[in-house]
Structures are given as C-alpha cells and as structure tokens.
C-alpha cells in the first residue's frame, strides 16, 4: 500500500493488536473486514 499511495496506513482502535504485536512485526491489513493478521516468518512456523 505504501508503494502504491506513497503513504503509510494508519490503523486505530486496535487494543488487542497493540498487546499482541511487537515493533517490527510484519502484518497484513484486511481493510474490508477490519482485521489485522500477523505474518509469521518461516522461523516461527
């Protein structure tokens, strides 16, 4: 998204996500469903 719009998306109201995610985690934002998915690295699987 950043590459397409040259902007960084802002996500608000994510109480559970801010507790579950760490700085640097890769995420996938499904804006239609209002869901944030953590992308797991191969090492984590």
Higher per-residue pLDDT: 45 or 5: 5
Q: Give 44: exposed, middle or buried? Use CB within 10 Å, 0-12, 13-18, 19+.
A: exposed
Where b means 16+ CB within 10 Å and e means fewer, 12-28 reads eeeeeeeeeeeeeeeee
pLDDT digits (tens, 9 = 90+) for 1-33: 555 667 777 777 877 877 888 888 998 888 888
Res. 43 pLDDT band, cuts 50 70 90: low
Inside any domain, residue 44:
no
pLDDT of residue 40: 83
pLDDT of residue 32: 84
* Structural domain containing residue 21: 2-38
pLDDT of residue 1: 53
Inside any domain, residue 11:
yes
Number of structural domains found in the chain: 1
């Amino acid at each position: 998204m950043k590459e397409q719009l040259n902007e960084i998306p802002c996500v608000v109201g994510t109480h559970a996500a801010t507790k579950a995610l760490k700085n640097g985690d890769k995420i996938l934002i499904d804006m239609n469903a209002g869901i944030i998915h953590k992308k797991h690295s191969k090492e984590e699987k």
